[in-house]
């Protein structure tokens, strides 16, 4: 999907971040994991600087920026461009593979299979390939679903859901997590976290979700279901209770744009851990999990646990004892990390 992490507006390093992000997008296309991480960390560092970084020396002094990246930052500031990026953009890319990978839910295997069957365009796929319902949706709404959602529109879409939810049950709480909670000025999708005081299992929220879905479909706000996993029994590390689909602002002019929306059911007892997980970003989550495991604990989207007992062959003997689930700040404390505002969780 569209993964650029645009700068927050008004950032003094916005242009530098923009160019580095394009470089990072290039490394994403060529699957250079090491450089993707290096660029994301550097972008994150720059994002936090209160002043414009202009020289190589200045950049090199910052955390997570090595000499070569520092030189690139200086080059961007002095020339407003980056030669390496221009070379990168001239490299032939696998256009067909790129196009297919941007279809919602399509991975490398699927895309390569289509190519080996002779498909080269979205039109080919529609005519020749055996498509699932979701792949059809991904193709029919390809441009919409590959466009990032401006922050103001996420707010509007969110208000729409909150208003209907309040009418159904005023005690249910809804919060938009993901990149929106991290303060991003655009998002790939809308990540709703749904909870209610007194709930101990996501199953407690399933009847509410079903009524909400029916209402939102009737109003023309919801337009497609991509995954409805809320009916499954919530597993330990399983899919959990979530619903994925598409929504629109019905009266949007000149036409409604299809947007991706995820609804997650979270019992109050797991709310803090879920907030951490669904606020992200993914790299921040990985480092929090790693930290937990270094301290003999385990963190997942349901809670922070004392490390599991393992038997021969590292087989889990117990699930581990829950230490904290409901309070986000308390989980930071127990892990011994300083509280980080969502805006500071870019990695």
CA distance 10 to 4: 17
Q: What residues between 261 and 290 interact with ligand DCP by CB under 6 A?
A: 277-278, 280-282, 285
CA triplet 24, 29, 32: central angle to 5 degrees?
65
Site pattern 98..127 for ligand DCP (x: CB under 6 A): ------------------------------
Q: Is 187 in the site for ligand DCP (CB under 6 A)?
A: yes
3-state secondary structure of 90: helix
Write the CB contacts of 128 (distance below 8 Å, at least 6 apart in sequence): 117, 118, 119
282 binds, among Mn ion, ligand DCP, Mg ion, none (CB under 5 to 8 A by kind): ligand DCP
CA distance 2 to 28: 11
Q: Is 324 in the site for Mg ion (CB under 5 A)?
A: no
CB of 265 to ligand DCP, least distance (A): 15
Residues 185, 189, 270, 324: which binds Mg ion (CB under 5 A)? 189
Burial class (CB in 10 A: 0-12, 13-18, 19+), 250: exposed
Q: Is 191 in the site for Mn ion (CB under 5 A)?
A: yes
Q: What residues between 253 and 272 interact with Mn ion by CB under 5 A?
A: 262
Beta carbon nearer to Mn ion, 96 or 229: 229
DSSP assignment of 218-267: HTTSEEEEEEE-TTSPPPSSS--SEEEEEE--TT-SS----EEEEEEE--
Active site residue 72: yes
CB of 278 to Mg ion, least distance (A): 8
Interface region with Mn ion, contact rule CB under 5 A, candidates 167-175, 189-197, 206-214, 317-325: 189-197
Beta carbon nearer to Mg ion, 56 or 279: 279
CB of 249 to ligand DCP, least distance (A): 18
- 186 - beta bridge partners? 150
List residues with catalytic annotation: 72
Residues lying near Mg ion in the complex (CB under 5 A):
178, 189, 191
Report the interface residues with ligand DCP, using CB under 6 A. Answer: 3, 178-179, 187-189, 191, 277-278, 280-282, 285
């Amino acid at each position: 999907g569209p993964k650029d992490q645009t700068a927050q507006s008004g950032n003094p390093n916005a242009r530098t971040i923009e160019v580095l992000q394009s470089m990072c997008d290039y490394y994403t296309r060529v699957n250079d994991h090491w450089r993707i991480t290096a660029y994301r960390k550097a972008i994150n560092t720059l994002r936090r600087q209160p002043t414009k970084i202009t020289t190589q020396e200045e950049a090199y002094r910052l955390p997570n920026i090595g000499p070569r990246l520092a030189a690139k930052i200086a080059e961007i500031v002095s020339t407003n461009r980056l030669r390496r990026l221009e070379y990168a953009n001239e490299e032939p890319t696998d256009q067909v593979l790129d196009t297919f990978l941007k279809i919602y839910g399509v991975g490398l295997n699927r895309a390569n299979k289509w190519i080996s069957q002779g498909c080269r365009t979205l039109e080919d796929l529609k005519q020749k390939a055996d498509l699932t319902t979701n792949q059809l949706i991904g193709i029919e709404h390809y441009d919409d679903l590959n466009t990032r959602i401006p922050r103001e529109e996420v707010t509007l879409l969110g208000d729409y859901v909150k208003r209907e939810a309040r009418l159904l049950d005023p005690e249910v709480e809804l919060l938009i997590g993901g990149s929106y909670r991290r303060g991003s000025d655009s998002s790939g999708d809308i990540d709703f976290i749904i909870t209610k005081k007194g709930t101990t299992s996501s199953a407690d929220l399933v009847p509410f979700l079903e009524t909400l879905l029916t209402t939102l479909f009737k109003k023309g706000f919801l337009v497609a279901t991509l995954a409805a996993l809320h009916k499954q029994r919530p597993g330990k590390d399983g899919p959990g209770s979530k619903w994925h689909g598409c929504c629109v602002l019905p009266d949007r002019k000149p036409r409604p744009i299809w947007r991706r929306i995820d609804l997650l059911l979270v019992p109050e007892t797991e709310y803090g851990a879920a907030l951490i997980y669904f606020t992200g970003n993914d790299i921040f989550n990985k480092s929090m999990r790693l930290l937990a495991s270094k301290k003999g604990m385990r963190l997942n989207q349901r809670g922070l646990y004392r490390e599991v007992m393992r038997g021969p062959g590292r087989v889990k003997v117990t699930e581990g004892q829950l230490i904290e689930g409901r309070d986000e700040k308390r989980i930071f404390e127990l892990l011994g990390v300083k509280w980080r505002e969502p805006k500071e969780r870019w990695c």
